[in-house]
Amino acid sequence: MADFCHDCSIELFGQDARDLVGLCKPGEHVGVICEGCGPTHVDNEGVCMYHARAGGTCKLCYQSAISDTSGHQNEKAEVSISANSGL
């Protein structure tokens, strides 16, 4: 089954299907594969951490992830660790 983050779901289908909700506790982020964004991190509500930074569209978020793999992935790991440590 294809899963979409909150932002991609709304952008592509006009409503949040809530595919990636509840995968972690509030205040944490978890690594997922969104069919719109690609590899990313979402919060407990399924909201992509990088969507707005990438220009607000799933296409730009996905292109950002594949064009800047080392920086995008490293940044995600650092944010995920600090989010999970309660900092």
**Domain limits for position 33:** 6-74
Claim: this prediction has a pTM higher than 0.85:
no
Question: What's phi and psi for 14, nearest 5 deg?
Answer: 85, 0
Residue 84 lies in a domain: no
Residue 18 lies in a domain: yes
Distances (CA, A) of 62 to 3, 20, 22: 14, 17, 22
Residue 67 lies in a domain: yes
DSSP 8-class letter at 83: H
Residue 29 lies in a domain: yes
Residue 80 lies in a domain: no
Reading the chain (87 residues) residue by residue, the pLDDT tens digits are 689 999 999 888 999 999 999 999 999 999 999 998 888 889 999 999 887 676 777 777 777 666 654 444 444 444 443 444 443
67 contacts: CB under 8 Å, gap ≥ 6: none
CA torsion 55-65-21-9 (nearest 10°) is 50
Residue 83 lies in a domain: no
Residue 15 lies in a domain: yes
11 contacts: CB under 8 Å, gap ≥ 6: 36, 57, 58
**Number of domains comprising the chain:** 1
